[in-house]
Each structure stands twice: as structure tokens, then as C-alpha cells.
Amino acid sequence: MTDAAPADTTGTSEVPDGAEKAARAYYKNTVFEVVSLDVKSATADKVVFTVKAKRGGELLEQPRSIELTLTGGTWTVTGEGY
């Protein structure tokens, strides 16, 4: 799991800057097409998204989950699956 995006830790939004971009970048290298990302939990250095996705054009019945952690100013994927 190597996809990452630089973080802008000055933001005060619900989703820390760069986290969603890193999650979407991760899925570009998989068989899944992201339909939506919804924040399940978020802190200054960890975000978990619930992911509605398609595979082969078919909407998956069960949402996936992706966890990103801020390490050295960069968001990295630290967990993904059901």
C-alpha cells in the first residue's frame, strides 16, 4: 500500500486535507471504481472512509472501508477491505 498524498495540516475541515485524494489515488490502481467516500471517523492523523464502489460496472452490495494515516506529512493507506 504505497499510494500517498502530501498533507496540509492547517485545514480545519472534517476531512483533513489530502486524505480523500490519497484514498481515491489508491483505488485508481485497483479493480474498483469509487462511487462515493463517506467519512466513518477522522482525527488529525487518521481517517477511515466507507467506500461505495463498483467492480466491472456492477455496484458492490457491501461497502468497503479504507484507513489512511498521516505519517511524516503524507497520507498513506494503512488498511483496506470489507
| pLDDT at residue 14, rounded to an integer | 74
**Strands 74-81, 64-71: pairing kind:** antiparallel
| pLDDT at residue 17, rounded to an integer | 87
pTM beyond cutoff 0.85? no
**CATH number corresponding to 4-81:** 3.10.450
pLDDT per residue over 1-49, tens digit each?
545 555 444 333 478 889 999 999 999 999 999 999 999 999 999 999 9
CA distance from start to end of the chain: 16
